[in-house]
Chain A
Amino acid sequence: MQFQFESLAAFLHMDGHGPFVWAAYAVTFVALAALAFQPRLQRRRLKRELERQQRIEARRRSVEAQRSRAAEPA
């Protein structure tokens, strides 16, 4: 089993079929890479969403706290 092409150029050219073969491989690996990295993006988006949610909660709690403090002396 040895390398089928004389030179790198011949390897890229693949006597005429090169563009098709490389195009197919390129699209395949780009699509697979997108699939593989999508979870990472979702993780980041989820973290931002959680932090935003907790900031809203914190603000809501502080508003309630003020309201209950204001109500006490009456």
Chain B
Amino acid sequence: MAWQWFHRLGSPRWFYQKTSAWMPWLALASVLLIGAGSVWGLGFAPEDAKQGNSYRIIYIHVPAAFLALAGYYIMAISGAIGLIWKMKLSFVVMRAAAPIGAVLTFIALFTGAVWGKPTWGTYWVWDARITSMLILLFLYIGVIALARAFSREQVADKACALLALVGTVNIPIIYKSVDWWFTLHQPATIKFTEKSSIDPSMFYPLLTMIIGFYCLYAWTLMAHTREKILQREWRTSWVQQLMRGKSMTESKAG
């Protein structure tokens, strides 16, 4: 019996209906958490002794960096599920996760670069974490570009799933080799952000923001997956009715 819900989860229609109930709550939670976290971090948390107010960028840089990496693993795992159990839905989740992860990586890079200016005087710092983040962005772009290159959806899904898996195997190696490379060339400069020694008054807003970002990630991933399901299943009757249902209510209202 345990497998039954797993395969039921696999049916796009069941996923669409189930997530319709969760979406509003998730959206509310992420807006509240991120709103509160930002206000708290920007206005009420103390400034950093060394870096002053530019330190407040941490409240968006760290969550974005977290999710950029976690997003890649989520993408790779859903791709692997699709390859192993041939589940269409998990391929759709993978395809939805790729652009979201890429945007989050870009956010992490941009905020890191802007943060670098007041701290080190240059926008681009070849710090280990920023460099690894840049390579992660290239990995994402590789998966997105590969997805676009194939004419047939099923083949594109499997190819991207395989590339994501290959990427996952390489990420730890890339991160370690970039760390080694960084310590080799710039042993003296400070490590970018020492989270362990963070002061509680700064840690709680950061925690709020991280949870808020995770809720937002979940909501965005669901929203994108639902849209891709409709695009792929547009021939089925339930999508036709859904779209017609939409147009009928709108035509009544309009």
Q: Which residues of A contact B (CB under 8 A)?
A: 1-5, 11, 14-18, 20-21, 23-25, 27-28, 31-32, 34-36, 38-39, 42-43, 46-47, 49-51
Contacts and interface: CB of A to CB of B under 8 A. Distances in A.
A24 B115 contact: yes
Nearest to B247: A47
A19 to B, nearest CB: 9
User: Is the contact region of chain A dominated by helix, strand, or loop, or is it mixed?
Assistant: helix
Interface of B: 38, 42-47, 52-54, 56-57, 60-61, 64, 99-100, 103, 106-107, 110-111, 114-115, 117-118, 201, 216, 219-220, 223-224, 226-227, 230-231, 234, 240, 243, 246-247
B72 to A, nearest CB: 16
Nearest to B222: A39
Contacts of B234: 46, 49-50
A25 B38 contact: yes
A20 B54 contact: yes
A4 B44 contact: yes
Given A20-B57, A43-B227, A50-B240, A31 B43 contact: no
B223 A2 contact: no
A14 B45 CA distance: 13
A21 B54 contact: yes
Contacts of A5: 43
A23 B111 CA distance: 9
Contacts of B220: 32, 35-36
B26 to A, nearest CB: 11
A24 B43 CA distance: 15
Contacts of B227: 38-39, 42-43, 46
A46 B247 CA distance: 12
A24 B42 contact: no
A20 B45 CA distance: 17
Contacts of A28: 60, 64, 107, 110-111
A68 to B, nearest CB: 25
26 contacts: A1-B44, A1-B201, A2-B44, A5-B43, A14-B56, A17-B118, A18-B53, A20-B54, A20-B57, A20-B114, A20-B115, A21-B56, A24-B60, A24-B110, A25-B60, A27-B111, A28-B64, A28-B110, A32-B216, A39-B223, A39-B226, A46-B230, A46-B231, A46-B243, A47-B247, A50-B240
B37 to A, nearest CB: 11
